[in-house]
Chain A
């Protein structure tokens, strides 16, 4: 299958201005005037559907009414009381399937929901309190270890610290923030926002952050359980699923999350090498993020390939529309069967077979094949939980390859709770969902510590 095709992966594809333009804020906050007009559209519904559709149950009509009343401070506090990461959620939430998806103004005769996400961002972006809006209760003398400083961990830490408990938050990465810092597309999270939000949470006091400490290596669950009154696991998903192709290790096959991290952490986007012909395998929001970001880094041709139909894609309609706006080609009903390399073992193309559903509803090949030239191929077919972190310690029970918890986010271990993407739960793996897990787990832990 060797091909003589030259591989075109390089940095500095664009001018500085183009990088600047392509990676500027994709969904900026509303202006004061826009917020004024938009907030006045809210009907202030009874038992508003938007509240129920928000995993953190933000009192949305209340904060919007406060914006309309020129009480932006009150609006921000209303949001933060329910969701301490309201700022990042305003940026990354798929509002079209959450609050905005159920807004009554979606219905006839308007078909135009209130821009709840952007109003939320407006309230928080314009929040400059003289004093921190949250204060700690007197010290309880209890200590809680939180492993993983992503959205779930931060939310849990905030709520526990407010109750007067001492929290130590460990993270294996050099910076806290989890996905908010490393895994969200660059243009969705501008101006170092994840770190600013973290700083705001740490300002409360009572939370110590220990970065560069990985569970299962220098840190062990058994020890934590002995040294702390309670442990909250917010480990996320950290293992990329495999494509299952023989040539898995070839140069040019890339891991989406690592690449997104590179983009997010880059001092200068011009230094990020990107292929000219890019293929992304997957159909979730991460696949869209990769496709759009490579395109915006200057890739000539980006194709997203998914083994099933559009209806099965987990990326929201809005995300798919964004992909189309970015000139990302989308091919459905095809799955990769082989990678094609040149004599230097560089990836030059990827072969697919057409798929369809058989009578039993199983995906199968049509025996029809095609090939796409590719300088780089990104896997974006989801992440798995890596249980290696429990080696040497007693591990909690698992369910569906993730940590099993009860309705209070308690694991099978006596003083261990878990939340966020690492647990098996009914909802979607969303930042806002993780925040709610952290918040609920904190309530349960607080109740336990008070006994």
Chain B
């Protein structure tokens, strides 16, 4: 059996799955239910200074597939709207009742050193395991000079991180906003400020939909709407990219990362870890399916690790990083082509439509004497773009096969067509 226990910057948890700072971790009631279900840790929903926050109604909206499956949701909820002391008391009690679980406290405080100092002192009294700086919240808080307003300015990230390191003994995790042009600038700033780790990504500015009757977006508050923070499965590719960029950058590669962004299944989690994350944080999946999915996350990850012989998550952490490179270093002589398994083909012709209309006219459609249709790859025309494989509704019907080009590895820096070739 694989060992799922996790040690992230000295913070121990029985498994690498933490609930991210969000509505599910807003109060002890939820957190206790989460721990009972088996979650390894929580990042308590962001605390702010009193007086407590005032929220709006409603707060969430969804981006769905036509079939109704949810791709992502967005929210315009602010930090915790409960009195600070209530949260602090509950955190202290929670840590007492669940000593083996990780309890991290997320914070968002005005950009003054004394405010942070005071807040950190009160938080330290809860005996929590660490703090996470919320520099990402894209809605509401930036207007008050907090959240993404700080996270988008590397100098502020560095400054506030440094204050925190100065005023607390607790590990400091800096949560990064994706609403920037280059994640490395924020990651570097956190590093310079002395952050023990970064966590990413926070939510992405978004408008999920427009109600064409009311001409208002969603969630609508009295007919008006605002950009919300996008999360869920749809943001995973963006999050993985940002995690990957930090992991492969020489200056930031040793910076511990807690991976966040659309983790829905064990495989998503394994991908974040393979790209260098030390653990993962989950929110949307729990909001959509309940805390019970922790069973599926742990079980799936454990079984896969067993199948690969990985004894713990450190055994495969970062293994996908060395293969992440720049386009210019890809082998221009590597060639694959599509192959259609005629026995598996159901003759829908989706591959044909895709290739004929929008790609390389590399699939032929022939009606046989019996009236059935046969789709075949015209190999000389196939560039191996994968579009047919992506569109095929039958698993493993279309596979991509390697063809020997008979030429050695050559990348763009070596190619004769490159005017800047050395």
Give chain A's interface residues, CB within 8 Å of chain B: 36-37, 40, 43-49, 68-69, 104-105, 107-109
Contacts and interface: CB of A to CB of B under 8 A. Distances in A.
Nearest to A110: B346
A104 B348 CA distance: 6
Interface stretch (B35-43, B112-120, B349-357): B349-357
A45 B67 contact: no
A46 B344 contact: no
A47 B365 contact: yes
A45 B66 contact: no
B347 A107 contact: yes
B68 interface: yes
B349 A47 contact: yes
Nearest to A42: B348
Interface in B25-74: 66-68
Interface in B227-273: none
11 contacts: A43-B350, A44-B350, A45-B348, A46-B348, A46-B350, A46-B353, A47-B349, A49-B373, A104-B347, A104-B348, A107-B346
Question: What is the interface residue range for chain B against chain A?
Answer: 10 to 19
B99 interface: no
Given A46-B352, A46-B353, A105 B66 contact: no
A104 B66 contact: no
A49 B347 contact: yes
A37 B67 CA distance: 7
Interface of B: 66-68, 344, 346-350, 352-353, 365, 373, 393-394
Contacts of A108: 344, 346
A49 B373 CA distance: 9
Contacts of A104: 346-348
Given A46-B348, A47-B349, 7 more contacts: A43-B348, A43-B393, A46-B349, A47-B365, A104-B346, A107-B347, A109-B394
Contacts of B344: 108
B67 A40 contact: yes
Contacts of B373: 47, 49
Contacts of B352: 46
B66 A40 contact: yes
Contacts of A48: 349
A37 B348 CA distance: 19
Contacts of A68: 66-67
A69 B66 contact: yes
Given A43-B393, A109-B394, A36 B353 contact: no
Nearest to B372: A49
Nearest to A40: B67
A45 B394 CA distance: 13
B62 to A, nearest CB: 16
Contact of A40 (B68, B347, B350): B68
Closest 6 CB pairs between A and B? A46-B349, A40-B67, A107-B346, A46-B353, A104-B346, A45-B348
B67 A46 contact: no
